Amino acid sequence: MNFVIVGCGRVGAELAYRLFQNGHQVVMVDVKQSAFNRLHPDFRGRTVEGEALSAEVLERAGIEKADGLAAVTNSDTMNAVIGHLVRSHYSSVKQVIVRNYDPSMREMLESFGLQIISSTAWGAERIQELLIDPSFRAVFSAGNGEVEMYEMYVTPKWDGKAISELLNGCNDTVCAALTRAGRAELPTSSTSLKSGDVLTVSATLDGVKTLRSRIQEG
């Protein structure tokens, strides 16, 4: 696949190399030639120096044949404008992803209807989870962490009780799987729990907070 990345900072350089390693064609765009020094020595994609708001620069980067574009500069405003420009004028680009650094700017980015990745919000969410209770392990994050998949261990207090009893009152929480002795299954609300089971649940932050409290109180 063909990808264009705008912004050769730490995130952009790492993303470009990961895509290249996986066999994709990558074009890196940055306003400064010196920024390309961050690229891995083994990177064999193309580089284009210039302002990505220029149609001429984007076309030199091959935007018309690109499968996706990631705008990952250190400016949330710039990322939003570039993403909107590509979405509006290059409908052949299937995926347009923009990086959000300042959480206070997320509402502005969302107003453009763009797919947003907020490294700041996501990182803070992960650290908070580990600080509060490392027994709840996030295994998948949707969006920017608004809904996540967690793995949690069933404590002896809940041995023999039904999943419905555990989740009673835990709004915004759904049980997706139960793993017992290494074998996973799709449980029902009446499935009995055993100490040591691993539950995979999908929940919002508020939902998982309530579930943590239920697990601890037994």
Q: Which residue ranges make up each domain of the chain?
A: 2-122, 133-217
User: What dotted CATH number matches 2-122?
Assistant: 3.40.50.720
67-80 residue pLDDT tens? 999 999 999 999 99
Q: What rounded mean pLDDT belongs to the chain?
A: 89
Answer whether residue 168 shows pLDDT above 70: yes
Q: Which two tokens stand for residue 91?
A: 């409908």
Answer whether residue 95 shows pLDDT above 80: yes
pLDDT at 200: 92
| Calpha distance 186→71 (Å, rounded) | 39
User: What dotted CATH number matches 133-217?
Assistant: 3.30.70.1450
Q: In Å, how far from its chain's centre is CA 168?
A: 29
pLDDT at 98: 93
CB 172, CB 138: distance < 8 Å:
no
| Calpha distance 42→157 (Å, rounded) | 54
Listed residue (16, 14, 49) closest to 33, CA to CA:
49
